[in-house]
Structure formats: structure tokens, C-alpha cells
């Protein structure tokens, strides 16, 4: 195999993991945009999604499509529940309390999952026929193709939702200025809940796609995935939807390239090094809104 | 009231505090070494001491400086590895190497604090949190992989750095707690500490009063890092084996939770929260499966019902209590304090 095909292969891998990161990063970014919360529990929503997918397929022998739908619905409901129960009472509190609450929710989900499903990994049955598609010399794994396509469709759908619908308009208005949006008759609480629902639904899709690539569910699988996706969101400019997508792909491809250079132990370090460099050069991320300081 | 209010002179206050602290160390050591308690209690007491130092040190940059670093475990790791490498590589006997190791751990961590602080402190708020998180993770990854790349036998990678003499005891851990609290307390009462507090209250106003923001931010940040390094050195002597995974992101979060739960800017709060949050999981061992769930629920509930943390910005002062007792206003001020709290709410 030539160097060229190796690079193409790694790029495909990078696109696959990158689209998962992008889907998860969107959830972080939207929530941050609307209530300025670093939602550390988001990674654990993915973990719950993976367990739902595993349960549907391994326990109830359900069709993968049904499992996907169940995971998405489960994540959406969970996201809204978390928001109502844990974050809504803290609307007026300092932001650090909100952050600690998010950490508490994250601990809670991880430990409940460990209690219910045990600490061991559950292997999720493969549900996609994994014969790669040959394109000349390059073999494209089916899972990679499906991941990228599903992620692409979800992102287009999200864009339409945010840009074209009334609810999307409300979301943008609340993230711009919550007080003014309320004066214009927008129900802030519903809008925030809706944002959590959309973000968690994307996390649900991300969890199933993640299971295609790494078919295992463990109670702590969400923390590192969540952290990387979070880095992706910051890299692209937190609060910005196209930024989250770009950041996700950038992180995924950077990781794949570092691994292909034989430095896979360093890939976490490289991800964070990229983050630091970007933050130092452009503190609000690649596509973030510029910060202004008022005296 | 024409009678002059009684005030305790400073030297007397320090003397009383030192005596009380000495009594605590001697008494605690006597109880623990008498064998009346199961031996794991001693281990828990040591661990609590280490966690208290970590929490109090993070409180400098979180509570006093008003920033939110998420990479505190990274500094602990630097201190732990620096002191452990020093103790295992030099042939100095452990009694001497250990205090030196703590100093070296603190110094190296403080140096890292300066190096990381200068770029990181240019950012604010959540971005500062994220960049310090990044630095913390990079420290962990470097400790994990530095041997395989450079061919050293330095950190021993994922296998862990072994054979560190287990020199941490109840007495030296808690003496370090006392020293840390004393140094931080005196620093915060000095003009430098006041400058740090003014940055927390209003950065722009502080700058326009002639305070060198970058200098004081870096100073407070590296001070925080240095004490974290000392905690790390004690942790190395407590564990006897170091692994980079001990100092992951979750460790930083664990320390941050203590500071926020205790009340940001309250040293007493950090200490109480560190004690409670370290002891509670041990005490709940009987309900092994449920203890972390209870822990997380407590965390959420505290934040919902008392967002400013358990003690808010209240700080414990023996001097104030003695003065109030002598002046007979202990309960009066308590009632007044409650009344004030209700007004604010």
C-alpha cells in the first residue's frame, strides 16, 4: 500500500470519528450558546444512549433502526429531564453552581449506569454488514460511510431547524439576549428545554454511530468522548453551530493523522495542544463571536 | 456603650491557634497510634490532610483570584512526580529526602504554574477553565509517554513509578496542612493578598488603581500550583506508587467540587468540604453500590438549595470567637447575622 492510500484511509477514519465528535460537540455548543453552561453531563447522555441501543438489540433483538430511534428518544427525554430537574432551579444562580451541578449529574448518570449494568463492558452486536466498498485501491468501510452520511443529514436538518423554523428563531433570539427575547414574548424556559432536547437527540444519534465504530458500552465511555467533543466545540468557537461541526472534523482528522504517524498514545495530548494554540491565537475559537469588554 | 471593646492582640491569637493546632496534632497522633481505631482510619486521616491542602490551594485561584482553573490535578501530578523522582534517585535517607522532596515538588509545580499561568491567564472565564483543562491533560499524557519517547527511566509510564518510600504520616501530612493554611492566610492578609482580592472584585477597577494584574494573577496562580505540588508530594509518599491516571481530569474536578461546595473564598469552607467529601465515601463503604449515587445527589442538592456553598465567604477565626465570648456578644452577633442573611435573600 502506498503512502497516499494510507493517508486517504486515515482521512476516512478521521472523518468517521470527526462526524461523531461534531454531533456531540453541537450539543455542547448549543447549550453553551443558550445558557452559558459547560454541560459536563452531555458525554454521559451518550453513554446512556449506547446502553439503550445495546439493550434494544441484545436483549429484545430489535431491528437496528428501532434501536436507533429508541436511543434518540431516550436521550432526548433524558436531556430534557436533566434540564428540568437539575438546571432549571439554578437559572438565577452563579454560573459556577450550574457547572458543579452538571458535574453532579454526570457522576449520577455514570454511577447509576454502573449500578444497573455493572462496570464491565457490554459488547453491542454489529448491525451493519461491514464489507468495505472498494474504490480503486481504497477500501471505504461501510460504517464510515454510513456514519458520515447520517451525521451530514443530521447537521443539515439541524441547520434547517435553527434557520427556518419559529423555534429555531426563538433559540437564536434567546442565545443573543435572553431578557430581550422574553420581552418579545418568547417563552425562555420552553426554548431552553427544546435546545436541550435537540442537543440530546443529536447525542443519541452520535451514540449509535459511536457504537458502530466501537461496539462497546461502559459506564465511563462518555467522559473522554465528551471531553474531546467539548474540545471540538471550543475549537470551532463555542456557541457557534458551524464552528462545532468544523471543530469536530478537525479533531477527528488530527487524531487519525497522529495515530497514523505511529504516535497514538500522544493523540489526546495533541488534541489538547491544538486547543491551547487555537485559544491563545484566537481566544473565542475559529468561528466564535468576538468578545467585547465593557468598562 | 462606654466600655472599651476587648480585642485580642495578634501575637496572642497566633499563640492560641498554634497551641490548639499542636494539641490537635498530638492528640490525633496519640489516638491513631494507640491502636484503638482500625488502621484504615489512619490512612483516611492522611488522605484527608492531602485533600485539604489540594482544596485550600485551589481556593487561592478559584476563591480569591476568582478564576476557574480545571487543571489542578496536573500541578499535583508535577509535584508528586518531581518529589518521587527526587526521593527514589538520590541516596539521601528518607527522613531528610521527604521534606526536601515536598519543597522540590512545590517549587517545580510553582514553576509550571508560572509557565502555564502566563499564557492561560490571558483568557477569562470559561476559556481559562478550558485551557487549564487542556494543560492538565497534556501533563498527564506527557507523564504517561515521556519514557517511551525519550528513552528515560523517569516516570515509568503507565506501569507506574514504583518503590517510593511511604513516608507520609498523619503528623507530617497535617503539619503540612497547618503550614499551608498559615502561609496562605498570611499571604491573603498582606497587601499582595489584598491586590489579588481586588482583581476578583473588579479587574478593570483594580488595574486603574495601579495594580499589576498580570503579575498578581500569575503570582496567585503559581502559588496555588505550588501548594498543589506539595499536596502531590505528600500523595506520592502516601501511595508509594504513582500512575498518571491518578491525576486525570476527574481529580481536578474532585478538588474543584470541594472548593465550590465549601464556599468559594472561604478557607474554612474548603477544609470542611475536603474533610466531609473525603470521609463520606469512606464512611459509606457499607452501601458500596449506592455511595457515589448519594454523593452526586448531595452535590446537586447542595448547589440547588445553597448555591454559594456551605459556608459562602464566611471564614473561621478563633480570635473573633474569643473576642466575642469575652465581650458577651456571641449570640447577639449570631442573631444579627441571621437577620442580615434574611435581608440579603
pLDDT-above-70 percentage for chain B: 92
How long is chain A? 295
Confidence label for B335 from pLDDT (cuts 50, 70 and 90): low
Contact between A105 and B296 using a beta-carbon 8 Å cutoff:
yes
Which of B137, B159, B295 should we substitute to test contact with A (largest number of A Cβ atoms within 10 Å)? B137
CB nearest to A115's CB, from B123, B129, B293: B293
Q: What's the gap between Cα A278 and its chain centre?
A: 20
Task: Tell whether the model's pLDDT for residue A177 goes beyond 60.
Answer: yes
Chain B residue numbers with beta carbons less than 8 Å from the beta carbon of A112 are 293
User: What mean pLDDT is predicted for residues A61-85?
Assistant: 89
Cβ-Cβ contacts under 8 Å between A and B: the total is 120
* Residue span of the structural domain in which A272 resides: 3-281
Question: What digits encode the pLDDT tens for the residues B66-82?
Answer: 888 989 999 999 999 99
Chain B residue numbers with beta carbons less than 8 Å from the beta carbon of A115 are 289-290, 293
CA distance A128 to chain B (A): 34
Question: Cα–Cα distance between B122 and B293 in angstroms, integer?
Answer: 38
Q: Indicate the DSSP class of residue A80.
A: H
Question: Cα–Cα distance between B300 and A86 in angstroms, integer?
Answer: 7
Q: Which residue of A has its CA nearest to B254?
A: A103
Question: Cα–Cα distance between B287 and B267 in angstroms, integer?
Answer: 31
Other Cβ atoms closer than 10 A to B20: 11
User: What mean pLDDT is predicted for residues A58-85?
Assistant: 88
Q: Which of B85, B144, B89, B138 is nearest to B112 (CA)?
A: B138
Other Cβ atoms closer than 10 A to B129: 22
- Rounded to 10°, the helix A95-117/A42-54 angle is 20
Confidence label for A77 from pLDDT (cuts 50, 70 and 90): very high
Structural domain contains residue A142: yes
pLDDT of the residue at B39: 79
Q: Is B146 on the interface with A (CB under 8 A)?
A: no
User: What mean pLDDT is predicted for residues A231-235?
Assistant: 88
What are the helix (H) ranges across B121-169? 125-150
The Cα-based distances of B107 to A220, B81, B281 in angstroms read: 34, 12, 32
Q: Which residue of A has its CA nearest to B116?
A: A276
Question: Cα–Cα distance between A29 and A36 in angstroms, integer?
Answer: 9
How long is chain B? 345
pLDDT of the residue at A291: 63
Q: What's the gap between Cα B303 and its chain centre?
A: 20
SS3 B3: coil
Structural domain contains residue A286: no
Question: Cα–Cα distance between A182 and B9 in angstroms, integer?
Answer: 56
Chain A residue numbers with beta carbons less than 8 Å from the beta carbon of B299 are 100-101, 103-104, 107
Q: Which residue of B has its CA nearest to A88?
A: B304
Question: Cα–Cα distance between B131 and B120 in angstroms, integer?
Answer: 6
pLDDT of the residue at B75: 95
Cell of A145: 460511510
Tell me the CATH number at A117: 1.10.3470
SS3 A284: coil
Chain A residue numbers with beta carbons less than 8 Å from the beta carbon of B134 are 231, 272-273, 275-276, 279
User: What mean pLDDT is predicted for residues A28-38?
Assistant: 87
CA distance A292 to chain B (A): 12
- What's the number of domains chain A is made of? 1
Contact between B303 and A93 using a beta-carbon 8 Å cutoff:
yes
Chain A residue numbers with beta carbons less than 8 Å from the beta carbon of B292 are 107, 110-111, 114
The interface predicted TM-score (ipTM) is 0.81
Cell of A45: 447522555
Which of B303, B305, B306 should we substitute to test contact with A (largest number of A Cβ atoms within 10 Å)? B303
CB nearest to A96's CB, from B249, B260, B293: B260
Cell of B311: 459556608
Q: Which residue of B has its CA nearest to A36?
A: B126
SS3 A133: strand
What are the helix (H) ranges across chain A? 3-35, 42-54, 64-82, 95-117, 142-164, 166-176, 178-183, 188-213, 221-236, 241-260, 267-281
Contact between A107 and B307 using a beta-carbon 8 Å cutoff:
no
Contact between A223 and B250 using a beta-carbon 8 Å cutoff:
yes
CA dihedral sign of residues B306, B309, B310, B312: negative
Q: Which of A227-236, B127-136, B281-290 has the lowest mean pLDDT?
A: B281-290
Chain B residue numbers with beta carbons less than 8 Å from the beta carbon of A31 are none
Interface of B with A in 293-312 (CB under 8 A): 293, 295-297, 299-300, 303-304, 307-308
Question: Cα–Cα distance between B280 and B263 in angstroms, integer?
Answer: 18
Buried b (16+ CB within 10 A) or exposed e, B277-300: bbbeeeeeeeeeeebbbebbbebb
SS3 A217: strand
Considering chain B, tell me which residue range(s) the CATH 1.10.3470 domain(s) occupy.
38-307
User: What mean pLDDT is predicted for residues B313-322?
Assistant: 77
Which of B300, B302, B344 should we substitute to test contact with A (largest number of A Cβ atoms within 10 Å)? B300
Confidence label for A126 from pLDDT (cuts 50, 70 and 90): confident
Chain B residue numbers with beta carbons less than 8 Å from the beta carbon of A94 are 307-308
Contact between B127 and A280 using a beta-carbon 8 Å cutoff:
no
Chain B residue numbers with beta carbons less than 8 Å from the beta carbon of A268 are 137, 141
B242 DSSP β-pair partners: B161
User: What mean pLDDT is predicted for residues B112-120?
Assistant: 93
Question: What digits encode the pLDDT tens for the residues B33-77?
Answer: 887 778 788 889 999 999 999 999 999 999 899 888 989 999 999
Residue that the C-alpha cell 459547560 belongs to? A38
Question: Cα–Cα distance between B171 and B167 in angstroms, integer?
Answer: 11
Q: Is B264 on the interface with A (CB under 8 A)?
A: yes
Contact A58, A122 (CB under 8 A): yes
Structural domain contains residue A293: no
Task: Tell whether the model's pLDDT for residue A150 goes beyond 70.
Answer: yes
Q: Give the Cα-Cα-Cα angle B122, B125, B130 (nearest 5 degrees).
A: 80
Q: Please enumerate, as own/partner, the contacts of B21-24 that have beta carbons within 8 Å and a separation of 24 or more.
A: B21/B178, B24/B174
Q: Give the Cα-Cα-Cα angle A83, A88, A93 (nearest 5 degrees).
A: 130
CA distance B59 to chain A (A): 14
Q: Give the Cα-Cα-Cα angle B281, B287, B293 (nearest 5 degrees).
A: 65
CA distance A112 to chain B (A): 7
pLDDT of the residue at B345: 30
CB nearest to A101's CB, from B142, B264, B300: B300
Contact between B260 and A107 using a beta-carbon 8 Å cutoff:
no
Confidence label for B329 from pLDDT (cuts 50, 70 and 90): low
What are the helix (H) ranges across chain B? 10-33, 39-59, 72-89, 94-120, 125-150, 170-189, 191-201, 203-208, 213-239, 249-262, 267-283, 288-305, 318-327, 330-344
Structural domain contains residue A287: no
Query: What are the backbone angles phi and psi of residue A234, rounded to the nearest 5°?
Result: -70, -40
Question: Cα–Cα distance between A188 and A173 in angstroms, integer?
Answer: 10
Any residues with CB less than 8 A from the CB of B328 and at least 6 apart, and which?
none
Chain B residue numbers with beta carbons less than 8 Å from the beta carbon of A275 are 130-131, 134
Question: Cα–Cα distance between A112 and B23 in angstroms, integer?
Answer: 43
Question: Cα–Cα distance between A49 and A56 in angstroms, integer?
Answer: 11
CATH architecture of the domain B38-307 equals: Orthogonal Bundle (1.10)
Q: Is B318 on the interface with A (CB under 8 A)?
A: no
SS3 A140: strand
Confidence label for A122 from pLDDT (cuts 50, 70 and 90): confident
Confidence label for B182 from pLDDT (cuts 50, 70 and 90): very high
User: What mean pLDDT is predicted for residues B213-230?
Assistant: 95
Average pLDDT score over chain A: 86
Contact between B129 and A38 using a beta-carbon 8 Å cutoff:
yes
Structural domain contains residue A289: no
Contact between B127 and A272 using a beta-carbon 8 Å cutoff:
no
Interface of B with A in 31-90 (CB under 8 A): 68
Q: Which of A256, A259, A282, A211 is nearest to A23 (CA)?
A: A211
Contact between A101 and B299 using a beta-carbon 8 Å cutoff:
yes
pLDDT of the residue at A245: 87
pLDDT of the residue at A294: 59
Contact between A269 and B122 using a beta-carbon 8 Å cutoff:
no
Contact A211, A217 (CB under 8 A): yes
Q: Which of A227, A111, A25 is nearest to B140 (CA)?
A: A227
Residue that the C-alpha cell 501575637 belongs to? B11
CB nearest to A272's CB, from B138, B204, B307: B138
Amino acid at each position: 500500500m502506498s503512502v497516499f492510500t494510507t493517508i486517504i484511509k486515515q482521512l476516512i477514519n478521521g472523518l468517521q470519528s470527526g462526524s461523531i465528535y461534531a454531533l456531540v460537540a453541537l450539543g455542547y455548543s448549543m447549550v453553551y450558546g443558550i445558557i452559558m453552561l459547560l454541560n459536563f453531563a452531555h458525554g454521559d447522555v451518550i453513554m446512556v444512549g449506547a446502553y439503550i441501543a445495546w439493550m434494544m438489540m441484545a436483549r429484545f433483538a430489535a431491528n437496528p433502526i428501532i434501536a436507533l430511534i429508541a436511543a434518540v428518544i431516550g436521550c432526548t427525554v433524558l436531556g430534557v429531564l436533566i434540564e428540568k430537574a437539575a438546571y432549571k432551579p439554578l437559572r438565577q444562580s452563579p454560573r459556577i453552581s450550574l457547572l458543579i451541578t452538571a458535574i453532579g449529574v454526570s457522576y449520577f448518570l455514570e454511577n447509576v449506569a454502573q449500578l444497573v449494568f455493572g462496570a464491565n463492558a457490554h459488547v453491542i452486536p454489529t448491525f451493519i454488514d461491514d464489507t468495505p466498498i472498494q474504490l480503486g485501491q481504497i477500501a471505504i468501510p461501510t460504517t464510515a460511510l454510513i456514519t458520515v452520511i447520517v451525521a451530514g443529514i443530521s447537521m443539515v436538518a439541524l441547520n434547517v431547524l435553527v434557520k427556518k423554523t419559529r423555534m429555531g428563531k426563538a433559540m437564536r433570539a434567546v442565545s443573543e439576549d435572553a431578557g430581550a427575547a422574553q420581552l418579545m414574548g418568547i417563552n425562555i424556559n420552553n426554548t431552553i428545554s427544546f435546545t436541550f432536547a435537540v442537543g440530546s437527540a443529536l447525542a443519541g444519534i452520535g451514540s449509535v454511530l459511536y457504537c458502530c465504530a466501537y461496539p462497546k458500552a461502559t459506564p465511563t465511555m462518555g467522559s473522554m468522548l465528551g471531553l474531546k467533543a467539548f474540545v471540538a466545540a471550543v475549537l470551532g468557537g463555542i456557541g457557534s453551530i458551524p464552528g462545532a461541526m468544523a471543530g469536530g472534523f478537525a479533531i477527528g482528522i488530527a487524531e487519525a493523522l497522529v495515530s497514523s504517524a505511529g504516535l497514538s498514545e500522544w493523540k489526546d495530548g495533541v488534541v489538547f495542544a491544538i486547543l491551547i494554540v487555537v485559544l491563545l491565537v484566537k481566544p473565542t475559537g475559529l468561528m466564535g463571536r468576538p468578545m467585547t469588554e465593557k468598562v | 456603650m462606654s466600655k472599651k471593646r476587648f480585642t485580642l492582640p495578634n501575637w496572642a491569637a497566633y499563640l492560641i491557634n498554634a497551641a490548639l493546632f499542636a494539641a490537635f496534632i498530638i492528640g490525633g497522633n496519640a489516638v491513631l497510634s494507640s491502636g484503638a481505631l482500625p488502621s484504615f482510619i489512619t490512612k483516611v486521616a492522611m488522605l484527608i490532610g492531602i485533600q485539604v491542602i489540594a482544596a485550600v490551594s485551589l481556593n487561592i485561584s478559584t476563591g480569591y483570584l476568582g478564576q476557574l482553573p480545571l487543571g489542578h490535578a496536573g500541578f499535583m501530578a508535577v509535584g508528586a512526580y518531581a518529589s518521587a523522582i527526587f526521593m527514589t534517585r538520590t541516596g539521601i535517607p528518607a527522613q531528610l529526602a521527604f521534606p526536601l522532596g515536598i519543597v522540590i515538588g512545590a517549587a517545580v509545580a510553582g514553576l509550571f504554574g508560572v509557565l502555564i499561568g502566563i499564557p492561560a491567564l490571558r483568557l477569562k472565564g470559561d476559556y481559562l477553565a478550558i485551557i487549564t483543562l487542556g494543560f492538565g491533560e497534556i501533563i498527564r499524557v506527557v507523564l504517561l509517554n515521556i519514557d517511551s519517547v525519550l528513552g528515560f527511566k523517569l516516570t515509568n509510564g503507565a506501569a507506574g513509578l514504583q518503590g517510593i518510600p511511604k513516608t507520609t504520616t498523619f503528623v507530617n501530612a497535617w503539619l503540612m496542612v497547618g503550614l499551608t493554611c498559615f502561609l496562605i492566610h498570611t499571604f491573603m492578609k498582606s497587601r499582595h493578598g489584598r491586590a489579588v482580592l481586588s482583581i476578583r472584585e473588579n479587574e478593570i477597577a483594580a488595574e486603574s488603581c495601579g495594580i499589576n494584574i498580570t503579575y498578581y494573577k500569575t503570582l496567585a496562580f503559581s502559588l496555588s500550583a505550588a501548594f498543589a505540588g506539595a499536596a502531590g508530594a505528600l500523595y506520592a509518599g502516601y501511595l508509594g506508587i504513582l500512575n498518571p491516571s491518578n491525576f486525570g481530569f476527574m481529580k481536578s474536578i474532585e478538588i474543584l467540587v470541594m472548593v465550590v461546595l465549601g464556599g468559594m473564598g472561604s478557607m474554612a469552607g474548603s477544609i470542611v468540604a475536603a474533610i466531609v467529601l473525603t470521609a463520606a465515601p469512606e464512611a459509606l463503604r457499607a452501601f458500596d453500590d449506592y455511595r457515589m449515587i448519594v454523593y452526586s445527589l448531595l452535590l446537586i442538592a447542595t448547589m440547588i438549595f445553597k448555591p454559594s456553598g456551605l459556608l459562602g465567604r464566611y471564614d473561621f477565626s478563633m480570635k473573633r470567637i474569643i473576642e466575642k465570648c469575652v465581650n458577651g456578644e456571641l449570640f447577639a452577633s449570631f442573631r444579627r447575622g441571621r437577620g442580615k442573611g434574611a435581608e440579603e435573600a
